[in-house]
Amino acid sequence: MSIHEECGVFGIINKNPFDAAGAAYYGLYALQHRGQESCGIVVNDDGVFSSYKDLGLVSEVFSADTLARLPEGNMAVGHVRYGTTGGNSRNNCQPIEVNHQKGKMALAHNGNISNAARLRNELELAGAIFHTTSDTEIIAYIVTRQRLRAASIEDAVSLAMDYLEGAYSLVLMSAQKLICVRDPHGFRPLCYGKTADGCYAAASESCALKAIGAEFIRDLEPGEILVFDGERVISRKEHCGKKEKKLCIFEYIYFARPDSVIDGTSVHKARLRAGEILAGACPAQADIVVGVPDSGLDAALGFGRASGIPYGIGLIKNRYIGRTFISPGQSARLDQVRIKLSAVEESIRGKRVVLVDDSIVRGTTSGRIVRLLREAGAREIHMRISSPPFLHPCYYGTDIDSPEHLIACSHSVEETAQIIGADSLGYLPVSGLGELIRETEASVSGAGGGKESADRGRGVDGHDCAGYCCACFDGNYPTAVPSDTRKDRFERKLSEKKL
């Protein structure tokens, strides 16, 4: 089992009709790393919504013919999904569309609503009928209900935020407006920019803005609502500052693309710094440092620079296969690891290898990679992980819903090393998390931003990571822990339900 990605959202608007579907396609293609289960695009052509959604990668779902069947419009929203609530079915594909007497709406969501079970129960008892098992439909229902008493769609969104707990970065399209929302904790990233021809675009990561030629403007603040009408951008901040900022630290370690900048921090530099810290905390005597593609590569480079051990290419990734966790079962996961990665024997035969990866969850994938290097002739393998041990479930958009899936909960570091077949194992210390963020914030912000960034990174909880959610490592949850955390909690068999 590996860490599962989040989702990616994208929205674009202009005052005049254009190839909105094409722009959304390129934006989603750049966000493919955030979700590989399904994808979808909804185009708004003068208030008429046209959409296409299906299971699969962006390149598989949207052919040239499929895109050509979507009309030109003045705005579009798109989504790539890895579901953390609800199964992998076409019904759960996003964006979710709503037809209502107050107007149409299309909604794309990245995150996980931690009070989803309670909200859904209340809505169903009040007469709501759900067509999906995704928590995104719960958001759509609440916004729609608030629309009945709100003067505008953005007012309804603001009112709905009072009911929602947990992580949600939203891109919402009405007949006339594009609305972007980041939850008050700011768990998930969301930014916006503008193209040379006047299109405003919003996306989970800045790399998607680059993909369509848009200039990055800024990240949304936690709790902020941005309203686009094609010509203006209106910022609403009535929910800003109500809760402590808690951006997911794992965005920097794994989720985001290295060329993205999130809340002023370069993802690439954060990962380099993680490798440097790791080299100091968990040194090894070795001949070569090898990164596991893709998210382990930057940390491996940082480890090599700090340790003086040469960095080399020891693993090659097959670019035409999805990530291992898409597999439906354990045996399929093992088979996909075998064909997904191959060892470069000339680089590692007879050598002592430092193998750097971003995380260990259950240990199955790590064990298989270690065996690949053993089979290729590695003399020693010293596994180094650019994150601390996972000790706690995540309720904010990462698919770790139970401690029983976490090898670090039941085994020591030495035992884990033996299980995966490594000669030694070392993790990034929790105390290093704030350091890697603070250092990179200062370098991105420039001379004027260093002290402010450093002050923001210093916490009072013992590991110097204020402003970021590290709950999967330290158990300090920013919200109430839900009673039922299973991904399939809305899809349970009759025999599993309490009577």
User: Average pLDDT of 87-96?
Assistant: 83
pLDDT at 324: 40
Residue 3 pLDDT exceeds 90: no
Tens digits of per-residue pLDDT, 97-142?
Answer: 999 888 899 999 999 999 999 999 999 999 989 999 889 999 999 9
User: Average pLDDT of 187-202?
Assistant: 97
Token pair of 334 as six digits: 């093992």
Helix axes 433-445, 450-457, angle to 10 degrees: 160
Residue 450: pLDDT band (50, 70, 90) is very low
Which residue numbers are catalytic? 7
**Rounded Cα distance, 338 and 9, in Å:** 31
Q: How far is CA 441 from the centre of its chain?
A: 20
pLDDT at 401: 64
Tens digits of per-residue pLDDT, 340-386?
Answer: 899 999 999 999 999 999 999 889 899 999 999 999 999 999 999 99
User: Coil, helix or strand for 387?
Assistant: coil
**Rounded Cα distance, 14 and 454, in Å:** 38
**Rounded Cα distance, 454 and 324, in Å:** 37
Q: Cα angle at 132 between 134 and 148, to 5 degrees?
A: 90
**Rounded Cα distance, 115 and 477, in Å:** 14
Residue 295: pLDDT band (50, 70, 90) is confident
Residue 149 pLDDT exceeds 70: yes
Return the closest-CA partner of residue 31 out of 252, 203, 280: 203
Token pair of 487 as six digits: 């991904």
- Could you say which DSSP state residue 311 is in? B
Comparison of pLDDT for 1 and 344, the residue scoring more? 344
Mean predicted lDDT score pLDDT of the chain: 88
Range of weakest confidence among 22-26, 329-333, 375-379, 476-480? 329-333
**Rounded Cα distance, 207 and 194, in Å:** 13
User: Coil, helix or strand for 194?
Assistant: strand
Using a 10 angstrom Cβ sphere, with 0-12 exposed, 13-18 middle and 19 or more buried, the burial of residue 101 is: exposed
**Rounded Cα distance, 176 and 13, in Å:** 10
User: Average pLDDT of 287-308?
Assistant: 96
Q: Do 358 and 399 contact (CB within 8 A), yes or no?
A: no
Using a 10 angstrom Cβ sphere, with 0-12 exposed, 13-18 middle and 19 or more buried, the burial of residue 150 is: middle
H or E, element range at 89: none
In DSSP terms, 42 is beta-bridged to 51, 77
pLDDT at 404: 79
Residue 472 identity: C
pTM score of the predicted model: 0.88
H or E, element range at 375: helix 364-375
